[in-house]
Every structure is written in structure tokens, then in C-alpha cells.
Structure 1
Amino acid sequence: MKKRFKGLKTTAGYLALVVGLSSVLAGCGGGKDQAAPKPDQGGQAPAKGEQTIRLVAANHPWTEGIKPLLPEFEKQTGIKVKVDSYFEDQLTQKTSVEFAANSKSIDVVMFRPLQDGKQFHKNGYFASLNDYVSKEQGLTDDFFESSLGSVKEGDNLYGLPLVTETQVLYYRKDLLEKAGLQPPKTLDELKEQAAKLTDKANGVYGFVSRGKRSPAVTQFSSYLYSFGGDFMKDGKATINTPEAQKAFEYYGGMLKDYGPPGTLNMSWPEAFGVFTQGKAVFLTDASSLYTNATDPSKSSVADKVGFAPFPAGPAGSKPYNVTSWAIGIGANSEKKDAAWQFVKWVTSKEIVGKLQATGISGALKSVWDSPEGTAKFPKDLVEAIKANGANAVPYDRPLIVNVGKARDAIGDAINAAIQGKDVKAAVEKSNQDFQAVLDKE
């Protein structure tokens, strides 16, 4: 979800997402089961004979969007696709069990790079895509660079992005216009405007965002980066640096001083609930959730919502831009060549364009630059997504296997800041707890 779309940069931090993965995964086949492509097949090389590959996927709009398009793929390649879909937690459990049992039945898998990807890759569950990609001239050039950072370990590519999201600023256009204000471009301006427009007597709060211990970490991440901090570096916890401490103080202070009651219990549904009920001026959260604010059936301020890029901090505007869902090939699949044909097809400009036209945020720069690819999105949201791309970070949480415990440790410091406690002491304690998690990796 990004950008001015050119010159996106991955940093070493970006690739922390895919830290220290161990084994070189099962090699990708070379195409022995493929026939030469026919002229009417758009360059797709069908496998000889009739083949069926199995896609294990999430119950997600992407999955529902791809199902009606499968006959196109089957016609082009002669490869049939069997789709097994599950709720997210069930998907993780199902794929974990099958992979651990060395099952050969998972040919293609939909996965969450920031949730399951690192562990699955470390365990050797994914086939490397390097050999396949190397034979496709410029295949990855159209992807946002940061989105690829979510599915790589060093130079090893083990997946391709399907769905992306970035953190944007949601705001009330009517309230800013009434006050004669323009959307804030910096975090200092955001704070000033939130203070000016907070009217607690009438139940209007200047700012709302996630404050619940673990869920708050992902939304706090953009503030951390924009203040010049990061979660970790070279295996060491770094949430106690001066830059990180200032980020904690800022985020916690915004929710403490200008946020609604009950912030400590707010994940995204609760935060959006406050905003969509007209009780908050500003909200920072994922771009992928925008319909919750713009759908009249969900929002009482649907026609009053504006979008802006994430405001710049002392280190500039450095919002996360993450691959929330990706696709890979099972390491033990015996149909890797056919699976690659499918992976290449679903991540092509044509198919990504069709899916994005329904509102599913893809990872291709050319689609975000096309009228068809942006038709379903508010114009200012598209511009915010593009602007966010200049210095986006491809992870919104520590990129480690034990991410749950890490988020809890970091969330403790966020909660302390919201409660007005000693932030420095809280940050030092959280850094120690986070380091203990890292030491066990």
C-alpha cells in the first residue's frame, strides 16, 4: 500500500522481519512437467496432462475474490485449483500440523508474513522462489520494495505479497474546516490540533488509537520509527533509546490527554467505534480498515471522513507498510512447477488489478497508479497511501518467532505512558523483558 511508488527503500530493520531463518528450503523444480505455452495462453506454460493443485487459504476477501477467477487460470494452463479455506487461527493450526507432518498435499499456501511467516520459514515449510523468479525477467520489479521485505530472508525469497496495508491519518474534515485547519503534516501539528479540538464537555476527543496492551504495538510502531527508534537491532532490544522513549511519551501522552475514556481496553474495533460515532477528531490506524469509517451502515460520519499521510516526526514520516497476506509454495509439494504457475498468475498485474478493483489492497505499483486499481478507494486515501511509500517500514512489530510475548512486553510500556506513569522506568523494564524474549530466540 504505498507510494510515490518509486525508490522505496528497504532497510536492514525492514528485513528484521525475516530474521535468522535456518534451512535452505526444498528446491523449486525446473519445469519438467511443463509443456511449451500455446499462443492463446498468454505465456502461461501448462503442465502436461491434467493436474490439480491445492491452495490452502484464509477466509478472507482475497480468497473470495480469486475463486470466480480460477476458471481463467484453469483455461490458460490446464491446471485445476482446489481451494481449502479456514478462519485465520484455524489456518495457522491446519498448516502447522500438515507441514510438521511433512505432508506433500499443500502446494500453495496463503500466510501472514508478520504472524506465521518467520516461524514457517525457519522450520523449512516454504520452497524458495529464487530459481523461479530468476527465470522471469523483472517479475518482482513492480512490487513495492518494502512489501517484498516481508517475505525475504537475506536474498532468499519465500513468498510473494498479496495484500498490503499502511498506517494513515483518519480525520474529520468538517471539524478541521470549521476550525480553519489543514490536515496536520507533522506530529507536532497533530498534537496541537488535537489539543485545540478536544471538547470533553461535549464528548469530542482530539485523538483516538489503539491502547490495549498487545494490539497497540502495531499502531505505535509508526510513531517509534518516525521518532528515529526501532524495536531491535542486531538481536538487541532498543526500545529504551532516547528516541524510543520520546515516542512512548508522545503516543501515551496523546491518548492520556486527548483520548477518550477506556483507551487501555481499545483494539481497532473499539477505537474505530469512537471515531465512527463522531466522538474523535483524529484516528491513526491501518488503511485496510477504511470502509469501517466510510460505510454509512457502519459510520455516522461516513461523509465527513478525510485521509492524510502519516505525519512526520523528528526522523520524518516513517509509517509501516506491511504485507498482511502473502502466498508461498509448500516445501514438500510434488507439484511445485504447477504451483509456481498459479503464484505467478495471482500476483500478475492483470489479476491484482481485478482484485484491487473490488477494494483489496495489492502490492503492485502499477496497479496503484491505474484508474481501475484506485476506483474503489477514496481519492485522498490513495494519495495518502502513495505518499506513505517514500520511507515506509515493512514491519509493524518485532520480527521474531515469539512475537506475542514481545508485543506484551512492549505493550506494558505503552500502557504505562497512557496512565501517566514513569515512562523511563517502564521503558527500561519493558526493554529487559523484550531482551529476555530475544535471548530465547
Structure 2
Amino acid sequence: MKLSRALPLAGIAALGASAAQAETITVATVNNNDMVIMQSLTDVFEQAHPDIELDWVVLEENVLRQRLTTDIATGGGQFDVMTIGTYEVPIWAERDWLTPLDDLPEEYRVDDLLQSVRKGLSHDGTLHALPFYAESSMMYYRQDLFDAAGIEMPEQPTWQQVRDWAEQLHDPANQTYGICLRGKPGWGENMAFVSTLVNTFGGRWFDMDWQPQIDSPAWQEAIAFYVDLLGNYGPPGASSNGFNENQALFSRGNCAMWVDATSAAGRIYDASQSQVADKLGFAPAPIAETPKGSHWLWSWALAIPASSDAKEAAREFITWATSQEYVELVAEEKGWTSVPPGTRESTYENPSYQEAAPFADFVLNAIQDADPTDSTLEPNPYVGVQFVGIPEFQSIGTQVGQMVAAALSGQRSVEQALQAAQRATQRTMDRAGYLD
């Protein structure tokens, strides 16, 4: 901020004193577009809260998760605000690692938060994180390419249809690939997508006795399908592409289809950020054997670790960044398609959002329809659609993700990859005491 030359010396001294007294809070977040927008609005928050300064740590998803998990488990206290999700919140809250958020101001309007999202971020009925944005998954496709090929999108596409369409539309000579899907290893990267694929092929991570099912016929069929589909009709180097990389490819027109997070819809429908904004169609995530678990439920949320020594300032920030007023601020600064989706009923009731976002009702229904308590064809003992809500899953999912990526890149056969994943998961579950 530049000081006016005419500002009295007393005023300058007062400003200096205020700056000296400001409390700095360190905010750790992921390098997704919505969080980059949040960081860009730092000045707005600091001007309204001159006693608080924000120090940002913005990291790639896998790195963020490693850093935060290490810090919270050791009580390191490096961060005052952590960007975590519906996987971590209940597990960390149960261990008293997070600050309960049970006395939020009335103007925050807790009841405006979508019930399914609120429930996922609670432990024993108390919120332990506030949702910044929430999402399910869906299919985006190039309507112009479908029309040119005479393909009509059904109300509920199947994975076999997707494979047929990918074969028809794959045109690598013109840098258009039949489909883009996550390949980068990580429990929240490739395995977020792969878990939903396995679910809809009739698979599950564990049976009711916590025995791993990763070498089951359903897993074999799902992963063989995935490797064949992405290997034949995906972009080069698919095993290195996560959410952000595929979003960039699709926005540039390099993918005929993309199945991923509903939270991307605002950006790829925004002509200032997407070259295909006027050529888009959308549909539910495809299904195979069963519709169960074919689309996920996730929320990126802001939490205050118990180890923070600036809890009140952190609370001021997270209530601001997840408020209805923040949504309206983003709409004013960046446009309605850029507001954080999936968290507040008032967003979806707003006529301006409805007009700007043709996908709004579709996304809301997908979020509300995803059921973490009933996500597989056969019964399972865990909560979660694209993850398993146990502490061990972070390492299990990452390890299995690396093996699936090895199959995708041709370093292992599908059978070898899944057998190794089964053995590794069995050892982890045995050591953790789940197996008799």
C-alpha cells in the first residue's frame, strides 16, 4: 500500500504501530483455481481486518497432503489454517487434532451450508472445518465433436459407450484425444477417479471382514478397462496428468471427453479461461455394472489445527472465506461462474448464478445424490465413495495409486499391479490390527 505524501506524521506512526501489532496467520492450501482466487483477495480481507496478516503456502495436492499430515500428527504448529477434506476431518477431529467450530456467529448462516457437505465435515455433530467448495464428479464432452460424428448423449452414459465414442473421436494427428482421465498417482489424484470406476464395475476396497478385494475380478475388469481406454485413446503421458493437467488439456480443446470434478464446470464454461466454453455438453459420470458409487462426494474445507497459536485470527479468516459474502465478492470480482461451488443453498437459489451456470442444478443434484454410506454393489464396512474413511487409507491409496499408474504406463501388467497392491494392502491391514 502506498502512503499519501500528505498523510500526517501521526497517521504514519499509527499505521506503523498497527502493522507491528498485526497477527500473522499461515494458510496452507492447494494450487487449485478456487484457492488461487482466494489468495488473490488477500488485500480485501486484510483491509477489513487490519490486525491480521495472511502468509500463504500454496502447494500441489500430493505435497500439501504430505506436509499437513506430518505437521498435524506431530503437533508441529507450522500452520494456522489447513485446507483439508471430507477424508481427513472426521479422522483428525476424533484425535483432537482440530479446533471445534461450535460457536460460529449467527450471520455466518450455518444452516445455509448444504446438509450432506456439513455432515461430512462434522464429528459427533460438531463442525471441525468449514467448506470452501464441494464437488461430485461428472462427464464433460465436446458437443461440437459429438454433433459432427452424429453421436447423441443418452441421459445416463455407460463406460462401454464412452469407449466407443473415444475410439470414434480420437484424432491425435490434430491433438484431439478421445478422453482425458486422471493418471497421476495419489490417493486423492488417480485413485479418486479409479475408486469410482471400480465401484461402478461392482468392486469394493474391502469386504465386511476388512479383507482387501483389490485382486478381485471386478478390480481386474475395471483397471484393465481403464488402462486400455486411456492407453489407446488418451493423451500422451497420461500417467502424469492429474486434475489440473487434464483441466488445462480440456480447456484448450485437446480432449473430446473428460470425467472429473464438478467443481471444474465454472472454469470450462468461462470463455475467458476456456477455449471450448461455447462447445460444451455435460452428463452424469458413466456407469457399468451398477450406478452405485459412480460419482464421488468431496469438499475442500478450511480447518484450524489444535496446534495453532492464533486460533481467533484463523477463525476470522475461515468464516470470511467460506461466507455468503465471500461468494458475492468473488462474483463481483471474477464473475458468477468463478464462485466456489457446492457449499451454500443460497448460491444455487441466486438467479444470477442460475443464469450464468447452466450446470448449477445438475451439480447440486450430483452432490446430494452421492452416498458415502452405500457406495458399492456388495456391502462394505467403510464410509466413503472415492476413499475409505480409515487412517490407513492415505498410505494404502497412494501405494495402490502408484501401482495402477505403473500398469497405465506399461511398467507392469494389470494383473501384476493388482496382485502387488493386494499383498501390500493385506500387510498394512494386518499390521494395523484389522485382520484376525
Determine whether 1:434 maps to 2:405.
Answer: no
Question: Which residue in the other structure is 1:223 paired with?
Answer: 197
1:207 aligned counterpart, secondary structure: coil
Separation in 2, partners of 1:270, 1:158: 31
Equivalent residue letter for 2:145: L
Determine whether 1:132 maps to 2:132.
Answer: no
Separation in 1, partners of 2:200, 2:57: 36
Determine whether 1:207 maps to 2:179.
Answer: yes
Question: Which residue in the other structure is 1:281 paired with?
Answer: 256
Equivalent residue letter for 1:147: V
Q: 1:156 to 1:355 in 2, by over 3 A?
A: same
CA offsets per residue over residues 273-327 of structure 1, 9 Å max, x none? 5434544311112233456645667655443233333223332163112112x22
Determine whether 1:109 maps to 2:109.
Answer: no
Match of 1:183 among 150, 153, 172: 153
Question: Which residue in the other structure is 1:22 paired with?
Answer: none
1:206 shift after superposition? 2.0
Separation in 2, partners of 1:263, 1:177: 26
1:280 aligned counterpart, secondary structure: coil
8 Å contact kept, 1:170–1:305: yes
Equivalent residue letter for 1:306: G
Q: Unmatched 5+ residue regions in structure 2?
A: 1-20, 30-34, 373-383
Match of 1:147 among 98, 117, 122: 117
8 Å contact kept, 1:310–1:388: no
8 Å contact kept, 2:404–2:418: yes
Determine whether 1:168 maps to 2:166.
Answer: no
Question: Which residue in the other structure is 2:404 paired with?
Answer: 413
Question: Which residue in the other structure is 1:11 paired with?
Answer: none
1:140 shift after superposition? 4.5
Q: 1:412 to 1:68 in 2, by over 3 A?
A: same
Separation in 1, partners of 2:66, 2:237: 31
Query: Which residues of 2 match residues 75-86 of structure 1 at below 5 A?
Result: 80-86=51-57
1:93 shift after superposition? 4.5
Match of 1:379 among 353, 358, 363: 358
CA offsets per residue over residues 410-439 of structure 1, 9 Å max, x none? 441354267597545532331222233344
Q: 1:90 to 1:424 in 2, by over 3 A?
A: closer
Structure 1 residues 117-126 or 88-97, which shifts more?
88-97
8 Å contact kept, 2:25–2:313: no
Question: What's the Cα RMSD here?
Answer: 4.2
Question: Which residue in the other structure is 2:348 paired with?
Answer: 368
Question: Which residue in the other structure is 2:4 paired with?
Answer: none
1:207 shift after superposition? 1.6
Separation in 1, partners of 2:393, 2:214: 17
Question: Which residue in the other structure is 1:9 paired with?
Answer: none
8 Å contact kept, 2:72–2:307: no
Separation in 1, partners of 2:68, 2:403: 31
Q: 1:195 to 1:387 in 2, by over 3 A?
A: farther
Q: Which is bigger in relative contact order (C-alpha 8 A, separation at least 6)?
A: 1
Match of 1:266 among 224, 241, 247: 241
Q: 1:157 to 1:241 in 2, by over 3 A?
A: farther
Question: Which residue in the other structure is 1:43 paired with?
Answer: none
Q: 1:269 to 1:391 in 2, by over 3 A?
A: closer
Question: Which residue in the other structure is 2:324 paired with?
Answer: 349
Question: Which residue in the other structure is 1:42 paired with?
Answer: none
8 Å contact kept, 1:166–1:322: yes
8 Å contact kept, 2:184–2:190: yes
Structure 1 residues 218-227 or 198-207, which shifts more?
198-207
1:56 shift after superposition? 3.0
Question: Which residue in the other structure is 1:8 paired with?
Answer: none
Q: 1:233 to 1:283 in 2, by over 3 A?
A: same
Equivalent residue letter for 1:403: Q
The count of corresponding residues between Structure 1 and Structure 2 is 379
Separation in 1, partners of 2:82, 2:330: 16
Question: Which residue in the other structure is 2:13 paired with?
Answer: none
CA offsets per residue over residues 70-89 of structure 1, 9 Å max, x none? 655x5xxxx94332322235
Separation in 1, partners of 2:412, 2:76: 49
Equivalent residue letter for 1:87: V
Question: Which residue in the other structure is 2:44 paired with?
Answer: 68
8 Å contact kept, 2:190–2:401: no
1:178 shift after superposition? 1.6
1:123 shift after superposition? 5.3
Separation in 2, partners of 1:116, 1:68: 29
Separation in 2, partners of 1:320, 1:232: 18
8 Å contact kept, 1:221–1:319: no
Structure 1 residues 165-174 or 108-117, which shifts more?
108-117
Separation in 2, partners of 1:137, 1:242: 52
1:168 aligned counterpart, secondary structure: strand
Q: 1:293 to 1:160 in 2, by over 3 A?
A: closer
1:171 shift after superposition? 0.9
